[in-house]
Amino acid sequence: MVRVRFAPSPTGYLHLGNIRTALFNFLFARHHGGKFIFRVEDTDRERSRPEFEKAQIDDLLWMGVVPDEGPGFGGDFGPYRQSERLGIYRDAIRKLIDQGHAYDCYVTEEEVEEMRQNARAEKRSFHFDNRGRSFSQGEIAQRKAKGIRPAVRFKIENPHLEVHDLIRGKVSFNLDDMVGDFIIQRADGMPTFHLVVCVDDARMEITHVIRGEDHLSNTPKHLLLFQALGAESPQFGHLPLVQGEGGQTLSKRLDSVSMRAFRGKGYLPHALANYMALLGWSPGNDQEIFTLEELQRAFDLGRVGRSSAIFDPQKLDWMNGEHLRRLSGEEFAESALRYLEEQGSMDLNPGLLKNVLAIFQDKIERFDQLPEALKILQDEFDYEDEALMKADESKMIFRAALEILDEWSKEPSDLYQGLVEELKKKVPAKGKSLFHPIRMAVTGRVHGPELKRVIPVLGRDKIKGRFRRALQI
């Protein structure tokens, strides 16, 4: 059975890059009838926060990416927080030392920094020179006496490796040119990422590791660790990174690409998943709009490209607008009301809001555009300068509208059509010369939603007040 994992560090909110990694793992698992595991890499004691873990899970669930196993989800391979698995890692490290795959290294951080500076001065790449392997017992005793605590390093004895990447094909590595023996346990006793990720993947029977290409250079280290641990290596697939417009790298700390920001702007979760799925993956045809279920059926890791994907916020807005227009009126209203409530924008009557929201379904691309659009429900709106340009010559139309509305007794649904028909009898204005003044009086704007939808919802009394106000300009 396919088993994949998403294992963020709870040191911040999810952002575009890692939520896309989670989505690709989820789609791959669902496509193959496998399991999607959420694992928490919280060994960074200083920066890990439980509130970030909670927020990450909340963001996954919001987008429909539901783990099969993980904290709060159950599973047979727990615990799923690394901070609760330290004993497992220490046992693995001790086993690696006993079998000669790792050793206590008494080389200090200052010595390593000196090696790094020398490499920089000689304009060559830095890698550890493995000097800690050959320390005599006397040298080790002297360093112990000075209070030096050892790190544990993994021995690299097979520097030439080749791996078949599920996305990039055959990739060759020469670790002599990349690293020396690398640390699997720091001097403070905490295991490193390289050790824990391999131990966890092995014990949780992970079959496929799908991650960003920034981890590609870690793969040879992990292959050696799996071999030393006596575990079968999962298959690896490294996703192209996501870049901004112009090819610049998107910062993980950039607020504008955090899940918090996307949710705050009012994107639909399934629209965001749709867009993210197409960042690096192609369905093999011209289809662009997918439901989450359709993505699960169509997703094929073999159709993930090797080139960096470009994040285009305009394309995301367009796609979200397409998804908004595919909602039923009831779904749109419920989603919009939920967003406005979450953002604290519910300062208008919910009943009136629900009736008027349908007007904007084909006029917005994100829910955060609603508060500005909904200002037409407020009687004290500001007039656009362009709308005021012909206010004086439109006052004849305003007066005629008030006369008609004073005598109006028909159903609200007939209000727009009836008003227009009666105005055509009373004033000589036709076409734009008639409709622009009506829009200016009713909304204060030159452009906006269709008047035939706005006027019946606002009703006679509100419309009368607006024509009366426009007459005072």
pLDDT digits (tens, 9 = 90+) for 404-425: 999 888 877 789 999 999 999 9
Which whole number is the average pLDDT over 21-29? 98
Q: Is the pLDDT assigned to residue 254 strictly greater than 70?
A: no
d(CA 338, CA 217): 44
The pLDDT of residue 119 is 87
Q: Is the pLDDT assigned to residue 389 strictly greater than 80?
A: yes
Provide the pLDDT confidence category of residue 251 given band limits of 50, 70 and 90.
low
Strand runs (DSSP E) across 156-245, as ranges? 160-165, 169-174, 182-185, 208-212, 235-239, 242-243
Give the closest residue to 26 by CA, choosing from 308, 320, 269: 269
What's 383's DSSP letter? P
Provide the pLDDT confidence category of residue 222 given band limits of 50, 70 and 90.
very high
Give the closest residue to 106 by CA, choosing from 156, 137, 147, 151: 151
Which whole number is the average pLDDT over 269-285? 96
Calculate the average pLDDT of the chain. Answer: 91
Phi then psi for residue 168, to 5 deg, are -100, -5
Which whole number is the average pLDDT over 139-152? 94
pLDDT digits (tens, 9 = 90+) for 299-338: 999 999 999 999 999 999 999 999 999 999 889 989 998 9
Provide the pLDDT confidence category of residue 85 given band limits of 50, 70 and 90.
very high
Alpha helices in 124-268 (DSSP H): 137-145, 193-203, 219-228, 259-264
The pLDDT of residue 255 is 62
d(CA 4, CA 1): 10
Provide the pLDDT confidence category of residue 274 given band limits of 50, 70 and 90.
very high
Q: Is the pLDDT assigned to residue 176 strictly greater than 90?
A: no
Q: Which fold has domain 85-239?
A: Rossmann fold (3.40.50)
d(CA 458, CA 465): 11
Residues 313/345, Cβ–Cβ less than 8 Å: no
Domains of the chain: which residue ranges? 85-239, 257-373, 379-471
- List of residues 6+ apart from 193 with CB closer than 8 A: 41, 43
What's 32's DSSP letter? T
* End-to-end C-alpha distance for the chain, whole angstroms: 72
Phi then psi for residue 455, to 5 deg, are -60, -45
CATH of domain 257-373: 1.10.1160.10
Both tokens assigned to 336: 């919009």
Give the closest residue to 202 by CA, choosing from 177, 229, 220, 178: 229
Strand runs (DSSP E) across 51-181, as ranges? 102-105, 151-154, 160-165, 169-174
Buried b (16+ CB within 10 A) or exposed e, 321-357: bebbeeeeeeebbebbbebbeebebeeeeeeebeebb
Provide the pLDDT confidence category of residue 146 given band limits of 50, 70 and 90.
very high
Give the closest residue to 182 by CA, choosing from 139, 234, 218, 137: 218
Q: Which 3 state secondary structure label does DSSP give 67?
A: coil
Provide the pLDDT confidence category of residue 175 given band limits of 50, 70 and 90.
confident
Q: Is the pLDDT assigned to residue 84 strictly greater than 80?
A: yes
For the annotated catalytic residues, the residue numbers are 252
What percent of the chain has a predicted confidence (pLDDT) above 70? 96
Q: Select from 3.20.20.100, 1.10.10.350, 3.50.50.60, 3.10.310.10 the CATH code of 379-471.
A: 1.10.10.350
